[in-house]
Amino acid sequence: MNKLFSKNPLTPHLQIYKWQISSLLSITNRIVGVINFIIIILICFWLISLRFEENNYFLIFNLMNSVVGKFLIIFLCWAFSFQILNEIRHLAWDLGYGYDTKIAKITGILVFAGSFILAILIYLVGNNLVN
Amino acid sequence: MNLSTKKWLFTKISSAILIPFMIWFLLKFVSLFDSDYQTLIDLVTVKSFKLVFTGFILTAFLFYTLTISEIFEDYINDQKIKNVANKVVFTFAIIILIFTLIILHTL
């Protein structure tokens, strides 16, 4: 049985593909998936840090209010937005929609461009919830 | 139903559930990430926040561990290494998840 599994074909390496929107989105989705897993872990640590006293939390407060912190939050908005839109695209495929090559290209471009727009929208709306 | 089909099904269900959770979390996080300690404590001690956040990280960990498992499936040929990699990711995710939930619900 193990021999059978070991003979499973692996995904071809990146340099074999001719770059196009679908392959770009596929590999970006994989990379963003791993990054988001790390982000979720960092969010857990952020929440755990609240357990400590206010003086210890000051370090995280300073980081979040720095330029690096702002960059991290904008990146998080984009990474989550990309994943949201790409998952919607995948769910549509699973329901049998959007397989046509032309439509797949269009939805691919929409996901990529839309992720930036959604990230900006979420950042602006999120900020206005407080200000 | 074999294991791969079950994995695929769980990935799809968790991804559909995760979408509204992600939007909710992003809006909350953007509005509060640079807040002071007391503001954050006031927010995370609200029962509704605790409930929704619990749903969010449970779904997120399920989805991302399955996603990473899929990546291992695609790129690692050796079955033993693949099993070890999967177990490490699953164990790490469960420990972080349980620890976070205990902290959240005792705040």
Coil/strand/helix, residue B36: coil
Say yes or no: B18 contacts chain A, CB-CB below 8 A: yes
Residue A6 has pLDDT above 70, yes or no: no
Distance from CA of B22 to the nearest CA of A (A): 7
Element (H, E) at B8: helix B3-32
Full residue range of the structural domain in which residue B72 is found: 3-106
ipTM: 0.90
Distance CA B65, CA B106 (A): 26
Number of compact structural domains in chain B: 1
Q: Do B68 and A37 touch (CB under 8 A)?
A: yes
Distance CA B56, CA B21 (A): 5
What is the rounded average pLDDT of the residues A90-107?
92
Residue A69 has pLDDT above 70, yes or no: yes
Closest CA to B33 of A118, A37, A51, A47: A47
CATH number, position B63? 1.20.1300.10
The model's pLDDT over A9-24, given as tens digits with 9 standing for 90+, comes to 666 666 676 778 888 8
Query: What pLDDT, on the 0 to 100 scale, is given for residue B99?
Result: 93
Say what the pTM is: 0.86
Name the least confident of A3-7, A13-17, A73-77, B18-22. A3-7
Contacts of B74 in chain A (CB under 8 A): 10-11
Residue among A47, A48, A130 with most chain B CBs within 10 A, to mutate? A47
The model's pLDDT over B65-77, given as tens digits with 9 standing for 90+, comes to 999 998 898 888 8
Residue A53 has pLDDT above 80, yes or no: no
The model's pLDDT over B17-38, given as tens digits with 9 standing for 90+, comes to 999 999 999 999 888 877 888 8
